[in-house]
């Protein structure tokens, strides 16, 4: 399955063949704000979760590889999934773009495409993103994709590690109502 994100980027359903992309996205410089690289065992488990989510048709979420529109080349990962946030069910999104392709608007275009697909589920009214407060690029993506900064919050991620993040929110209701 394929969705146009912009003239230069496509998002495509995560598949069995995307484990190598996940390994490339596990590079230390890409995982610096996410608690550092995961083990091969954690990556395999994550890949299985992504494949399963990708096949889900109940609105639990979706995972995608980000590909360049004019080439068959995967350059990043993105998706949305459900979480309970302050007593309400919402969608959360997160992303990564490989070095060599950053700073070109790829994550922003892919995020806008994912927001459109999350909206089309007609299931939850809010899409959140929680980048670390010192993740300049990721916070810029949220702002450029139209999210509103709500405040800061603390997560334990990965387990045993306190992470101070921003809470960005995009209203998915057609009229922006909450």
Ligand X SMILES: CC(C)(COP(=O)(O)OP(=O)(O)OC[C@H]1O[C@@H](n2cnc3c(N)ncnc32)[C@H](O)[C@@H]1OP(=O)(O)O)[C@@H](O)C(=O)NCCC(=O)NCCS
Minimum Å distance from CB 164 to ligand X? 13
Distances, alpha carbon 33 to alpha carbons 136, 157, 171, in Å:
10, 10, 25
**Residue 146 in the binding site for ligand X (CB under 6 A):** no
The smaller minimum CB distance to ligand X, of residues 100 and 174, is found at 100
Interacting span for ligand X (CB under 6 A) from 14-22, 51-59, 95-103, 117-125: 95-103
**Residue 96 in the binding site for ligand X (CB under 6 A):** yes
**Residue 35 in the binding site for ligand X (CB under 6 A):** no
**Residue 131 in the binding site for ligand X (CB under 6 A):** yes
Encoded tokens for 153: 């919050």
Interacting span for ligand X (CB under 6 A) from 16-24, 57-65, 105-113, 155-163: 105-113
d(CA 127, CA 143): 13
Alpha helices in 25-173 (DSSP H): 40-55, 106-120, 136-144
**Residue 43 in the binding site for ligand X (CB under 6 A):** no
Contact with ligand X (CB under 6 A): which of 8, 40, 70, 136? 136
Nearest to 63 by CA among 25, 103, 101, 105: 25
The values of phi and psi at residue 138, to 5°, are -70, -40
Residue 26: its H or E element: none
User: 3-class SS at 72?
Assistant: coil
Minimum Å distance from CB 175 to ligand X? 27
Residues in the site for ligand X, rule: CB under 6 A? 30, 33, 94-97, 102-108, 129, 131, 135-138, 140-141, 144
């Amino acid at each position: 399955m394929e969705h146009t994100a912009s003239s230069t980027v496509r998002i495509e359903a995560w598949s069995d063949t995307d484990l190598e992309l996940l390994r490339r996205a596990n590079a230390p410089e890409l995982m610096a704000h996410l608690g550092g690289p995961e083990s091969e065992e954690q990556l395999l488990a994550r890949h299985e979760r992504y494949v399963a989510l990708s096949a889900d048709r109940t609105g639990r979420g979706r995972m995608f590889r980000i590909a360049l529109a004019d080439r068959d080349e995967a350059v990043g990962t993105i998706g949305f999934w459900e979480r309970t946030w302050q007593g309400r069910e919402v969608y959360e999104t997160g992303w990564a773009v490989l070095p060599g392709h950053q700073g070109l608007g790829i994550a922003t275009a892919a995020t806008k495409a994912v927001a459109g697909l999350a909206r089309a589920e007609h299931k939850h009214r809010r899409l959140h993103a929680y980048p670390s407060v010192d993740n300049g690029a990721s916070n810029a993506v949220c702002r450029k994709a139209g999210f509103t900064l709500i405040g800061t919050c603390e997560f334990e991620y990965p387990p045993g590690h306190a992470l101070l993040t921003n809470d960005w929110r995009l209203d998915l209701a057609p009229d922006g109502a909450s």
